[in-house]
Amino acid sequence: MVAGQAGNPLKGVALHDTALTSVQLALDRLVCTVEVEGSGGQMPKGERVVITCQGLHSFFASFNFAEMLDNAWPGNVQDGHYYASGLFRAYVTGGMLEAGATNLTLGDSTPLDDSDSGESMPVLLSDYKALYDVDFDFGFLQHVGILPALGMVTAHVLMRVGDLSSDLVPAVLSFYGVKSCNLRLDVAAMRDSVRFGNIASLRVNVKGGIVWIYCREGFVEVVAEQVMLRKFG
């Protein structure tokens, strides 16, 4: 892997014509990782670079999965920049992402466990219409995983099983056949929403296959062919 230079971890790293394989956003740990893979351009084919943003305070992403998949070879990443203000920005064919953080490092492995899609949990529902009857108010959005090559997005949450004083149970919203996803989150402000949770509500467009997770300071929007909710308790 090509190492970055002092002061700018991305300087000298050839991100152009790599393929974006994974974005993992851990809100509870204030960390996000962006994984790219070489596809035969300046970065050797199969070589992997993981960009880790720590001390995360803001995050924005907009992805058109079909366009990204069509350009996975020779590479859907056009360019990436790291600014002295702590802002990391990546442009891809079919979207972009922007992460504001206090520290950025490069490696060939992720500090986050991105292997758990929640498939070990029992399925509670697998229908957009059924989501109408599920209450996410006063819950916590903890982790978002974006896997463009698999057409998949996961959102790990803690849900209330009753009123505001009730227990929290872990749950995973898994989206398959994802067409697009958009996120804009004020991560620092969301972390302060301890008492009432960082999720304000969840809205569904059944016909369009769209889910909006409205947070206290931001939102997550996913358009997909299928959704599954898995949870314990």
Query: What value does the mean pLDDT take over residues 85-108?
Result: 93
**pLDDT of res. 4:** 43
For residues 97 and 138, membership in a common domain is answered with: no
| In a domain? residue 5 | no
For residues 219 and 153, membership in a common domain is answered with: yes
| High-pLDDT (> 70) share of the chain, % | 87
For residues 79 and 128, membership in a common domain is answered with: no
Confidence of residue 5 (pLDDT cuts 50, 70, 90): very low
pLDDT digits (tens, 9 = 90+) for 29-76: 999 999 999 876 778 888 899 999 999 999 999 999 999 998 878 789
What radius of gyration do the chain's Cα atoms show? 18
pLDDT digits (tens, 9 = 90+) for 153-204: 999 999 877 666 678 889 999 999 999 999 999 999 888 766 778 999 999 9
Residue ranges making up the domain that contains 224: 123-179+192-231
For residues 58 and 156, membership in a common domain is answered with: no
- The answer to pTM > 0.85 is yes
Q: Note whether 197 and 139 are within 8 A (CB).
A: yes
For residues 206 and 147, membership in a common domain is answered with: yes
**pLDDT of res. 1:** 40
Confidence of residue 131 (pLDDT cuts 50, 70, 90): confident
**pLDDT of res. 113:** 59
CA–CA distance, 89 with 96 (Å, rounded to integer): 7
Q: Hey, how many other C-beta atoms are within 10 angstroms of the C-beta on 225?
A: 11
pLDDT digits (tens, 9 = 90+) for 100-118: 999 999 987 666 654 455 5
For residues 147 and 203, membership in a common domain is answered with: yes
For residues 75 and 166, membership in a common domain is answered with: no
Q: Note whether 118 and 175 are within 8 A (CB).
A: no
**Pairs from 135-138 (Cβ < 8 Å, separation ≥ 24):** 135/159, 135/160, 136/199, 136/201, 136/202, 136/213, 137/197, 137/199, 137/200, 137/201, 138/164, 138/196, 138/197, 138/199
What is the number of structural domains in the chain?
2
For residues 103 and 127, membership in a common domain is answered with: no
For residues 137 and 222, membership in a common domain is answered with: yes
**pLDDT of res. 7:** 65
Last residue within a domain, chosen from 107, 133, 159: 107
**pLDDT of res. 84:** 85
* Residue 205: pLDDT over 70: yes
**pLDDT of res. 160:** 77
**pLDDT of res. 115:** 45
For residues 100 and 127, membership in a common domain is answered with: no
